Amino acid sequence: GLTIVELHQQAGTVALTARATQPSACCPRCTAESTHVHSYYTRRPHDLPLVGYMLRLLLHVRRWRCRNGACATTTFCEPLPGLLAPSAQRTLRLTTTLQALGLALGGEAGARQSQRQAMPTSPDTLLRLTRTIAIPAPVAPRVLAVDDFAFRKGRTYGTILVDGEQHHPVDLLPERSAAALAAWLQEHPGVEIITRDRAHEYARGANDGAPQALQVLDRWHLIGNLQEALARLLDRLRSRLQALLTTPCDGDKGSSGPAPRSIYDRDLRRGTKDQVAQQQSRARRHARYAEVKALHRQGLKILQIARTLEISRQTVRRYIASEQFPEISQQPRQPSILDPYVAYLQERWDAGCRANKQLYTELQALGYRGSIRPVVQWTLLRREQPPEGMQRSGRKPARQVELFVGAETAPQVPAGKPKLPGSQSLAWLLLEEATSLTAAKQQLVEPLKQDADLTMACSLAQRFLSMVRKRRPEELGPWLEAVLASGIGELVTFAVGLQRETVNVRAAVELPYSNGVAEGNVTRLKQIRRAMYGRGNFDLLRIRVLVAA
């Protein structure tokens, strides 16, 4: 119903003038056809860009008169279905494009992209448009996986509901509370099975909102809880286990003389950027550990401490349980291309050869294929003072590393002796099946088996895993009895917790459903939240998660 009159270009903008030519129009209220024009006017909406130029429409349209005496409308504007809504500033196709941009990139990045694509929009407008996207009303699935996600870690949480069979997100709730879940379940009846973690809120919410539904504990959360219990045990036994690791090594280490130094045996007065950062983060963690201990001594509850310090309850529980500051395990260093030549290098160094170029040439003759850089790094660590030449070239002195040692720190393990990994990773290691461990890991675990408590805990944990993997609910009862009889406090606490909801644990072992589907969606949700910068308001987050699904 529009005829193009002219195309006019001016300073990066194209103006397209068009005239409405329809001989009649229908009243939007009573649908009666009218041929009576009331007045003429011009609308100037933005449209999708034209060959890289911003496009503005100049539409000469009319206001029509409704002749139906029974209709409350006297005049109405030119209907432009599919192109432009009444009183809109943008064409429908531009709005849809901007909504997709806001959905995919969020406000800031989306606005930048809109500039580049010749349809400039502010972040706020983009988000406002994104908010108007209509999302289909959620339908209750047969199997519902319930999980939480953090708006701010340790502080505020929301709930994500996922279809346990189709694996797509069903809805997002702004809080992690029994009331919110119960209300949703009441509004969306029909859920038969609910998989959830062991948080009391979701248990209560499911009981209140869908009492007829079978609640299934999530297997991965169960295994995670088991790992946490094991890690707390490891924290408690730490010094005992470390002793087991180091004692038997004394004999052979002493006889073989000092091990050849490798490129990474760094002089601690000069460290890499990484070492500085590592020590700083360790100092931060140690300070937090001390704070947790202090608040705990003052009698604060775990939840209160977590809220005060804005850390997770799990971390608080771990810190309270461990007698020593729990170290996190360090990644083993990558092998260096210089490694096979370090013994020779040391020999030449001891013989007094200090020239990098000379050493490098000699190594090349021996077959060394790397650059001179590792050689320079190696010698640099062994020089008392930087050589004259380097000082004159104006190079800054190497960074100073202050090794941070807290009062409650674990005793330093002498270099060259194996160090016990952090409790978290060691706990996962102990949960792995012995046959799937690499030789190095097996070597690490082997001496720990001398500890009777740990060995018993491991065998109980393995039994639990195999029961879950092989889906043998009939083994649950005997397993619980065995744990309670073991007297290992950390596992007993775990078992007592399970006993309170035996039915749900049994269902978890028996049925194929798990929250794994929810976890995957939580990961995706985190990525979306990161892309939305500071503007991740809940309604937007919900639209992005549900529409982009």
CB-nearer residue toward Zn ion: 73 or 486: 73
Considering the rule CB under 5 A, would residue 73 count as an interface residue with Zn ion?
yes
Shortest reach from residue 78's CB to Zn ion, in Å: 14
Spatial contact of 540 and 532, defined as CB atoms under 8 Å apart: yes
Pairing of strands 169-173, 156-163: antiparallel
30 binds Zn ion (CB under 5 A): yes
Q: Least distance to Zn ion from the beta carbon of 4, Å? A: 30
Comparing CB distances to Zn ion, the nearer of 27 and 55 is 27
Stretch that binds Zn ion, among 23-31, 99-107, 461-469, 498-506 (CB under 5 A): 23-31
Measured CA to CA in angstroms, residue 127 lies from 101, 106, 114, 137, 280 at distances of 10, 7, 12, 21, 39
Work out whether 26 is an interface residue with Zn ion (CB under 5 A).
no
Q: Which residue intervals of 298-341 are DSSP H helices?
A: 302-309, 313-321
Q: Does 27 bind Zn ion (CB under 5 A)?
A: yes
| Minimum distance of Zn ion from residue 69's CB (angstroms) | 10
CA nearest neighbour of 61 among 2, 14, 7: 2
CB of 34 to Zn ion, least distance (A): 8
Smallest gap from Cβ 30 to Zn ion, in A, equals 3
Q: Which stretch binds Zn ion (CB under 5 A): 73-81, 370-378, 379-387, 448-456?
A: 73-81
In the complex with Zn ion, the residue whose CB is nearer, 29 or 269, is 29
Q: Is residue 68 within the footprint of Zn ion (CB under 5 A)?
A: yes
Binding of Zn ion by 449 (CB under 5 A): no
**8 A C-beta contact, residue 480 and residue 498:** yes
d(CA 522, CA 535): 18
Considering the complex, what minimum distance in angstroms separates the CB of residue 55 from Zn ion?
Answer: 33
Q: Show the tokens assigned to 374.
A: 């590792």
Q: Tell whether residue 66 is a contact of Zn ion (CB under 5 A).
A: yes
Q: Residue 190 region, left (φ>0) first, then alpha (ψ -120 to 50), else beta?
A: left
Report the residue number, 24 or 330, with the smaller CB distance to Zn ion: 24
Under 8 Å between Cβ of 158 and 173: yes
Binding flag, residue 29, Zn ion (CB under 5 A): yes
- Name the one range near Zn ion by CB under 5 A: 30-38, 85-93, 260-268, 320-328: 30-38
Q: Which one of 8-16, 26-34, 210-218, 529-537 is the stretch in contact with Zn ion (CB under 5 A)?
A: 26-34
Tell me: does residue 71 bind Zn ion (CB under 5 A): yes
> Does residue 77 touch Zn ion according to CB under 5 A?
no
- Quote the least distance from Cβ 28 to Zn ion, whole Å: 8
- Burial environment of residue 384 by CB neighbours within 10 A (0 to 12, 13 to 18, 19 or more): exposed
Nearest to 312 by CA among 222, 195, 224: 224
The amino acid sitting at 110 is G
Of 73 and 262, nearer to Zn ion (C-beta) is 73
CB 490 within 8 A of CB 233: yes
Q: Tell which residue, 356, 401, 349, has the closest CA to residue 377.
A: 356
16: left (phi over 0), alpha (psi -120 to 50) or beta: beta
Size of the site for Zn ion (CB under 5 A): 7
The answer to whether 37 touches 63, Cβ cutoff 8 Å, is: yes
Least gap, CB of 42 to Zn ion (angstroms): 24
CB of 87 to Zn ion, least distance (A): 18
| Stretch touching Zn ion by CB under 5 A, among 12-20, 71-79, 166-174, 457-465 | 71-79
Minimum Å gap between C-beta 154 and Zn ion is: 59
CA distance 365 to 367: 5
- The answer to whether 300 contacts Zn ion (rule: CB under 5 A) is no
Q: How far apart are CA 266 and CA 347, in angstroms?
A: 18
When the beta carbons of 66 and 194 are compared against Zn ion, the nearer one is 66
Which window, 22-30, 211-219, 463-471, 473-481, contacts Zn ion (CB under 5 A)?
Answer: 22-30
The residues that touch Zn ion, with contacts defined as CB under 5 A, are 27, 29-30, 66, 68, 71, 73
